[in-house]
Amino acid sequence: MARKVECLYCGQKFTRTQYSEHLEMEHTDEYVKLVERIKSALQIGDDIKYIATNNNITEAFVKKIEKQLMTFIKEDTTSYSPKNSNIKLLWEPENFKLETTTVWSFPDRGNWATHSGKYRGNWSPFIPRNIILRYSKEGETVLDQFVGSGTTLIETKLLKRKGIGVDINPEAVKLTKSNTSFEKKDSGEVEVHVGDARNLEFIKDESIDLKWKIFVIIAVIILLSAITFIILLHLYNNRNEGREVAMQAKEYKLSKPIKRGNMSLEEAIAGRRSIRTYSEEKISEKDISQLLWAAQGITDEESGFRTAPSAGALYPLEIYAAVAMVDGIEPGLYKYNPLNHSLLLKKSGDIREEIYNASLWQDSIKDAAAVIIYCAVFKRTYYRYRNRAAQYVYIETGHSAQNVYLQAEALNLGTVAIGAFDNKGLKKVLELPDEEEPVYLMPVGKRE
């Protein structure tokens, strides 16, 4: 008899064939997440059997999703090709004025941010913009029970509100997720669920109650300890810098990158070589600052555009630095935060040996002053570019890595691009979140 699996959400037991059907019928939101998970796994080349076993479903079900993915992709590629991408520099309507009368008329449909008129039945983004600005404040929660293509939630995010969206149609939810997945400094957060607008209880639990609880906890802590209060206040003040910053106790602001060096671009290109042995000298804080800036630094404050190109400006790369011998920065694993040009401490200590073990024992890792680690969140690009996502992410990694190569050359440092490592092992060493995958390593050090 086939082994039964227990539903993670209600505890009932099913065969693997029945399980996916049960999720679709009874736990739609989880079902959509499962399908997305399978698609992402297929995108990054995971084996069908592995995906099926990992998710307690049949291989036939994974193949069905693969087939859907391929059909969807064929239809999707033209409208979401980079040429037609509607990600624009424009984050808000030009010369916008809040409506002051009861008669509203908007001759332009509005095409800023990710708004698009392609989805039938969506309303002009000028309408939610006016309503949100008039009836809510920054940081407040906006609920949209019928997300459609996400017009209201795009505005919610742009106007620094928290958005909760619901729609009974999984395709609408998918489209909304895609349209609200843009990265903009100081924007709000948006979450979207498949669900019935007549039953909103679960939304309350996940949002308003949670928010309320946070404030209660903060109030109690303030009463208990003045020191804790100062720390919390500091975290609270930094809340718009993103969860990463708020949760990190240690943030190193890196020195300002220079824009003019001692070597011409042509000389750097001509001199670039992969260098795998380094001296035991420390590199400077300025060196690591410059290298990380070359990798993913922001070069246009207004748009948030960076040193390396990115399909749809979706920026799927997350850069880490395993610091070992950098003057002024204590050894540890850090995440680079392009928004502040800073390093966020993930864990203390020199982890070169662990990276070396997960990277087929390549000596360049062990001897480096620091290792720049490229990780990627594939789904950021996948939401928009579907079957082209994986290739776009790898291409972007190459663009960025070449910047690091050339910058290292200009600083008279050595580096090498490393693609040979054990993904799972490295992920464990770096304690990466599920959604991040390691893609490239670049040890750097002083030349011998």
Which tokens belong to 60?
């036939």
- Residue 357: CB minimum distance to ligand FMN, A: 14
Q: Distance (Å, rounded) from C-alpha 420 to C-alpha 422?
A: 7
Binding of ligand FMN at residue 390 (CB under 6 A)? no
Among 416, 430, 432, 442, binds ligand FMN (CB under 6 A): 416
Amino acid of residue 272: R
**Residue 420 binding ligand FMN, by CB under 6 A:** yes
273 makes contact with ligand FMN (CB under 6 A): yes
- Are 34 and 20 a contacting pair, CB within 8 Å? yes
For ligand FMN, the binding residue among 305, 331, 417, 422 (CB under 6 A) is 417
173 or 441: CB nearest ligand FMN: 441
Is 371 a binding residue for ligand FMN by CB under 6 A? The answer is no
- Judged by DSSP in three states, 217 sits in helix
Nearer to ligand FMN, 12 or 274 (CB): 274
Could you tell me the smallest distance in angstroms from the CB atom of residue 400 to ligand FMN?
13
CA dihedral for 354, 357, 360, 363, sign (positive or negative): positive
Structure tokens given for 81: 């090709």
Q: How far is the CB of 296 from ligand FMN (least distance, A)?
A: 18
Site string for ligand FMN, 274-303 (x = CB under 6 A): x-x---------------------------
Return d(Cα 406, Cα 270) in angstroms, integer: 9
Residue 419 interacts with ligand FMN (CB under 6 A)? yes
* 362 contributes a contact to ligand FMN by CB under 6 A: yes
Extended strands (E) in 199-255: 251-253
Nearer to ligand FMN, 84 or 391 (CB): 391
Give me the half-sphere count of Cα atoms (radius 13 Å) on the Cβ side of residue 61: 24
b/e map 257-292, b = 16+ CB within 10 Å: beeeeeeeeeebeeeeeebbebeeebbbbbbbbbbb
Nearest approach, Cβ of residue 419 and ligand FMN (Å) = 3
Tokens representing 245?
Answer: 């910053």
Q: Which is nearer to ligand FMN, 147 or 294 (CB)?
A: 294
395 binds ligand FMN (CB under 6 A): no
For binding to ligand FMN (CB under 6 A), which residues are involved? 273-274, 276, 362, 364, 416-420
